[in-house]
Every structure is written in C-alpha cells, then in structure tokens.
Structure 1
Amino acid sequence: MRVLLPKDVLKCYIKAGRIASEVREKVKGLVKEDVSILEICNFVENKIEEKGGKLAFPCNICVNDVAAHYSSSINDETVIPWNAVVKIDLGVHVDGYIADTATTVCLNHQYDGMVYAINEALKQAIKAVKPGIKNNHIGSIIQKTIERYGFKPIWNLSGHQMTRYVLHTGKSIPNVSRFGLSKIKEGEVFAIEPFLTMRSGAGEVTGLNRTYIYRFHKTHRNLNKDADKLQKLIKKRFNSLPFSKRWLSESSEKMEKAFSVILAKKSITGYPVLAERSGNIVAQAEHTVIVTKKGCLVTTL
C-alpha cells in the first residue's frame, strides 16, 4: 500500500496508532458502574506514556448525553453511573504525529443497537475514503448508515484533518451530507468520528458552562510575572495541542490566579463540554486514517 509520506513520518503515525489502539482496547474493561472517571483518565494517560507515546489531548470520558470534551479535573469525584453509555476518546502523538480514536462502552443493553450502528457508520465511511472523494459524500454515507439503523446523526460534530502538532485543521469530515465540498487528497490524515443519538433527539450538541480542556492560542505581552511564566510553560510543554489543568504543577492559589489571567487575555482558549441538546444518549466511534493512492490506511485498528 503506497503512502505519500516520508518513511520516518509514517513510522511515527503507525506507532502512535498502535499505542492508541492498544490503550483503547485495554481501557474498555475498566469502564464499570461506580468507577472513578478520574481513575479512567489517569489509566489511559499513564498507559500511553508507558508505551512510549505522548498525550495528544486529555482523555475524554463522556457519559450518556454528554458527547465531547469532558475530562476529569484534578479533584474530580464523578463516577460512572448505573446503566451508562460511556464514550472514551483518546489521543496519542509520536513526535507530533497524532492518532485519535474513540469507542463507546454500553453498560445498558437497551442501547447496544446504538453501538452497533455507530461502528457500522465508521466502517462504511472508512471504506469510502480515497483521493478525489468529496468530504460531503463521506458525510452522506455516515448519515445514511445511521438513519438506516433508526438513529439520528449529530450534525454539528465532525471528523477533522490533522497535521503535525495540530489536532484540528483544514478539512472536516461531516456526519451529514449537507456540509463540506472539499476533496480528499492522498497523504492527508483524518480522524473520522461519527456521532449519533436517538431518532427522537435534537441531533445537535450545545456547549455547557463547564470547561476542562484548553489549548495555547497566542502569546500575550504585559502579563504579571506568574501569568507570563505559566503562559511560557504551557506553550513549551503542549505546543498547540490541548491540555488539562491537572497536567500542570500542583494546583495552588497562585497558579489558579495566573491561569485565570491568561484565560481572560485569550492566551489560551477552552473547549466547553458538549451535550446533546435534548438530553438524549449519544454514541461515538473514531479511527485515524491516512489517505493512500487507492484508499486509506487505518492507523488505529
């Protein structure tokens, strides 16, 4: 299979994908009623580093109607509830080359059909990937597959192109047919991630007034000493990749004040927690693909 990338770059993508896949499969067994979400996040992030990868973003553990961007804070006491539908979204990078993958663990057999449908939507989308195909065609396949199983796609969430040290860039892979007119090119890298909800749901997510994931945005001058020091630390450690406050030094009043300053000055930006607008259950599946001459290479299988 020909891949239009330098060998050393491809090697990094393959290694990141292998680590992400291994950790994704391993963590499934940890998702049980009353297990701490912080414990799961720490397990995922520690395993990634043990296996020789680096964290591309904080582990997301999203329960029931929460679709994206929930990651534990440093003192999070939240646990997995009874009969939950749990999305696990994790990211690995090797020298900046990213693998992004997600799965849904269903503790309530009533929703097993959702998990099957979302995995089928991802499978069919991946089959369609090749140079020259329009991204809205892939979105159409995702939408039709989800609807064929009696569910509704989340229209305002999408897959995304990735480049070195950049998680979201360039083109998107929509989950419905009406968005996106770009053509996919050989050598591009995408995270394809369909989301679905119940047919009775709104089929869209909305931001909640909670943020646990941030990224460096731009350097701001004329900050106080502590804020300037923290700004430089974040830029150096995380580049433009998302991070969690719990990855910083031990929380203190000084650090919290500095963090508030750089957030207010927009040196960093946040990713609000996203939930299905009508409160319906959400399922997710995701793989990373590299577009090849005649199709794609899935790095996270």
Structure 2
Amino acid sequence: MDGIKGEIIAGKHWNEVIDSAERFIRRHGGKPAFPVTISVNDMAAHYTTNSMLGPPEGLDGEMVFEKGDLVKLDVGVHIKGAIADNALTVEVGGGGNHTEQIHAAEEARDAAIEKMHPGTPWHEVGAAAEQVAKDAGFEPIRNLCGHQLERWDLHAGTSIPSYACGSNNPGFKGSPEIGGIYAIEPFNTTGGSGMVENVPPVDSSNILRVTGDVRIRKALSKGKLKPLGATMARYIEERYSTLPFAERWAYPLLEKPFSPRRTRSRCGGSGMHLSRSSPRSASSRSTPPCVTQTAGMWDSSSTRY
C-alpha cells in the first residue's frame, strides 16, 4: 500500500494509479479480489475506471488529482480465493487540511479492533469506533459497514457497524468468532446525514459480480450460448468466480467493449453510493486477525456527500 500511496500526486490521473496498483498485485503473485477503487473528496467509496469507455458523464474534469484532494484508495488481493482487503486515505500534496479527519478514521479502526474478541457484541465494536469519530468532531457513516471475509466471498454475510447501533438492531447480531476474518471499515464525514445514497450523474457502476444465476451454466452445458457469449461466461466464471470484477478486465476477449446492459442481465453490479449533503469523508479499514494497519475505506460503490 505504501508504494501505491506514493503514486497519488497532483497532476496524475486516477486511472494511472488504478492500473498501476492492479499490475503490482499481479506482478507479485496475487490477483485483485475486486477492482482497485479511488474515491476523491465528497465521493466516499467505490469508483473504478472503465478506461476504454472513458469517465462517466459528470466526472470528466475531476479525474486528475489536485493538491489538497482527500483520496480514498481501496485495494483487495486474493490468492486462490483467500482474500485480504485494505484501504487508506491520503491528502494529495500533504498540507495538513485533512490530517485530523484521516487520523480519526485510523483511530476509530484501531478502537474497533481492540474490541474484536469472541463474545463481544457487534454493537460494542461499532460504539467504540463512533466514540472516536465524534470525539474528534466527525460523524460516522452508518450505512457503509465492515464485513466478514471467507474464501471466494468478499462479503460473507456478517456486517460490522461503525456506529452505536444498539443491542437490538437485527442487522448486527452476534459477535466475532474464533478464526473469523473481518474487514473493519469505519468511515467518517465532516457533516451531513451520516448516510450515503445513489445520486446522478454517476448512479451506476462498472463493478460487477456473478450472482449465481444458474441459467448461464445451463445454457453453457446445453451449448445454447452463442460463441462470444459462451466464451465470455466461461472467462468470467473461471477467473473471478463469485468475486467482483470490472468490465474492462474482460476487454481482451473483445474487439470493442461489450454492452454493460447485456452483461448486467447476468451479473450483479455494486453501484456507486453518492450521499445527501456536501462534506468530505475519510475512512479506515483492516482485516484481523492478520491486522494490517492502514487507513482508508472500502467496498464496491462510490459515495458523494
């Protein structure tokens, strides 16, 4: 992460950093567990490039880093389906305008990790993260959560709050399990509702995943897919299984980009989460028990406040 962090400099295009990070992962024997994402300023999470198609409408002029930008970099690596998920937040060019917010995200992550013991209710983990954020003058984002990791499963069912959700919240029952692997992902914002939502113009995503639609496998087994469709379906299933992937990763099979609409009829997209107000966000995440001390944020969507 430190090497990639050093590439986030003023004047550089977002795509350059995304491409460099994904090449680095492959060069060192891993594979991306999901497309590398970069989210800047009031965009909280989950933007990745579809470089052959260009930036989505509304982002063209925003995709070069400027001094003072608050940048969230989210990187996942897997080896044979075993996943590590890490993120950090950095201010382009330093300057200290966002130092307190970045540190608050890191410290919220660390406070949550300290609570990660078998039997500790998830709401206590979230309360520890929220207390740090609020003590520093920031608001936790409540509808972006941490999650459990399992082989070939980036979001394995258990969600981990970064706020005091209360002991009766049905979405956060249970506690950490011995041997469990979890991504701790506190986000904070300088104000607003503490919630994120999809907002135009970037209200769709080019991050996709196979959702388990058995019709593809049946069509493949019966030879009913046209050659290009069959090749694409096999390519996706063999390389990515149930993990998220980007449209651009499939371009080597095609003379020109395929239709996102046609692809999404068979796959599930992650979406870009864009928020209701206008402040900026920072977040931090780590994956115990192999705790990686990084700051930043996560998931497969993008968030604007």
TM over 0.5: yes
With normalisation by structure 2, the TM-score equals 0.82
Moved more, 97-106 or 241-250: 241-250
With normalisation by structure 1, the TM-score equals 0.83
Q: What amino acid is aligned across from residue 204 of structure 1 in structure 2?
A: M
CA drift of 1:224 comes to 4.6
Using the aligned pairs only, state the percent identity: 32
State how 1:1-301 maps to structure 2 within 5 Å. 24-75=1-52, 76=54, 78-107=63-92, 109-178=96-165, 179=169, 180-198=172-190, 200-208=191-199, 209-217=203-211, 218-221=213-216, 224-225=225-226, 226-250=228-252, 252=254, 255-257=257-259, 259-264=260-265, 267-290=266-289, 297-299=290-292
How many residues in Structure 1 have an aligned counterpart in Structure 2?
268
Tell me what 1:21 maps to.
Answer: none
Moved more, 99-108 or 136-145: 99-108
What CA distance in whole angstroms lies between the structure 1 residues aligned with 2:279 and 2:214?
39
Q: Deviations over 1:196-233 (max 9, x none)?
A: 001x3221111241312111112434575133432222
Moved more, 174-183 or 159-168: 174-183
CA drift of 1:169 comes to 1.3
Structure 1: state its 5+ residue gaps.
1-23, 291-296
Q: Deviations over 1:237-287 (max 9, x none)?
A: 100001111111348576514x532312xx201111123321220101111
Q: Which runs of 4+ in 1 moved over 6 A?
A: none
Q: What amino acid is aligned across from residue 103 of structure 1 in structure 2?
A: L
**Larger strand share, 1 or 2:** 1
- Secondary structure (helix, strand or coil) at the match of 1:131 reads coil
- When the two chains are superposed, the root-mean-square deviation of aligned CA atoms in Å is 1.9
Q: Deviations over 1:45-72 (max 9, x none)?
A: 1111112111101101000111111011
**Larger helix share, 1 or 2:** 1
